[in-house]
Amino acid sequence: MTDQPQDAPACAVCSTTMTFSFSDSEAGYYLCGNCDYLTPVVHGLDARELNDSIYSEAFDHRLEEAGKLTDRKRRKYAHFLTRIAPYRQNNRILDIGCGAGRLLRVAAEHDWEAFGVDPAMQKLSVETPDHVTVIPELLNKAGFEPDFFDVVHANEVFEHIDNPVDLVEDILAVLRPGGLLVFRTPNHSSWTAKAVGQSWRHFNVRKVGHVGFFSPKSARHLLNNLGFDKVTIATHHFSLRDRWPGKTPGIGLLLRLGYRGVGQVARFLDRGERMTVYGQVGRQRADASTTRG
């Protein structure tokens, strides 16, 4: 049974009562009319337990892959490190949900002091090089001092948690004034999501553990309300593969070119499927408890 509209939850970003949007076989999805945050509601589902079980399986399976760095990944991380270089002051970077610490390894090669947190790493022992520290805990249990980091990065984290305000407050506790938060998460207002509807792979809550969806609007709302001054958003990517999976003989290349073309336009209009959010903490930090809502 999926939820009925009268069970409408309060938005985890802005506390507004959400509106029923659609349901699939597992969940009712509710949208916030104020900030555009989208969330599935499943009775009796604990987001943390669900993701623990998903990641215990995924991590065994990905164990061998965990420490590997391809040239492509290395170039991607190096490009990211160039982009964040202007924020370098304390010389410390944190990666939330770091896994085996691939980004951290490249950061250490660029002379950063690199730290990662990831509770899933309790199940893994991975050797880390000098200047890389991986703590197998949630951020709020990791014991970092205030204002410790110049940059906090989180890839594929925000869609797995049901209280993003708490997470951003935990980040603010360790990010220095003027520091940078970068998070990457699927864009539910992307053309891909709109075009493929319920087939969007990110909606499969019990399989993928995604319990909260942002658009550029909700991401901005979250960070602006919690004391970030400058928020910039970049999106890219378009595909209809979730709707029509598998290979289409003969027109595969044409499709790819088509997707790429649409993806370029989507990027320009903030409608790309993959979203990166950059938020710089104000130098005069607001008190988060008074800016909620």
Residues near Zn ion (CB under 5 A) are: 11, 13-14, 16, 32, 34-35, 37
Which residue number, 27 or 35, has a Cβ lying nearer to Zn ion? 35
The neighbour count for residue 147, using CB atoms within 10 Å, is: 18
Shortest distance (Å) from residue 213 CB to Zn ion: 11
Shortest distance (Å) from residue 80 CB to Zn ion: 29
Which residue number, 14 or 47, has a Cβ lying nearer to Zn ion? 14
* CA–CA separation, 212 and 157 (whole Å): 10
Cα 253 to Cα 63, 169, 248, 256, 259: the distances in Å are: 33, 45, 9, 5, 10
Which residue number, 8 or 138, has a Cβ lying nearer to Zn ion? 8
Residue 41 near residue 55, CB atoms below 8 Å = no
Directed axis angle between helix 216-225 and helix 164-174, to 10°?
A: 50
Between strands 113-117 and 132-135, the pairing is parallel
Which residue number, 137 or 169, has a Cβ lying nearer to Zn ion? 169
In the block, residue with structure tokens 């001092």: 145
Shortest distance (Å) from residue 175 CB to Zn ion: 23
Cβ-count burial 84-115 (b if 16+ within 10 Å, e if not): beebbeeebbbbbbbbbbbbbbbbbbeebbbb
Shortest distance (Å) from residue 220 CB to Zn ion: 11
Q: Which residues contact 122 (CB under 8 A, 6 or more apart)?
A: 136
Shortest distance (Å) from residue 258 CB to Zn ion: 34
Which residue number, 9 or 258, has a Cβ lying nearer to Zn ion? 9
* CA–CA separation, 115 and 108 (whole Å): 9
Which residue number, 19 or 264, has a Cβ lying nearer to Zn ion? 19
* CA–CA separation, 264 and 61 (whole Å): 34
* CA–CA separation, 56 and 42 (whole Å): 21
Shortest distance (Å) from residue 200 CB to Zn ion: 20
Shortest distance (Å) from residue 218 CB to Zn ion: 6
Which residue number, 51 or 218, has a Cβ lying nearer to Zn ion? 218
Residue 215 near residue 158, CB atoms below 8 Å = no
Shortest distance (Å) from residue 31 CB to Zn ion: 9
Which residue number, 16 or 198, has a Cβ lying nearer to Zn ion? 16
The neighbour count for residue 289, using CB atoms within 10 Å, is: 7
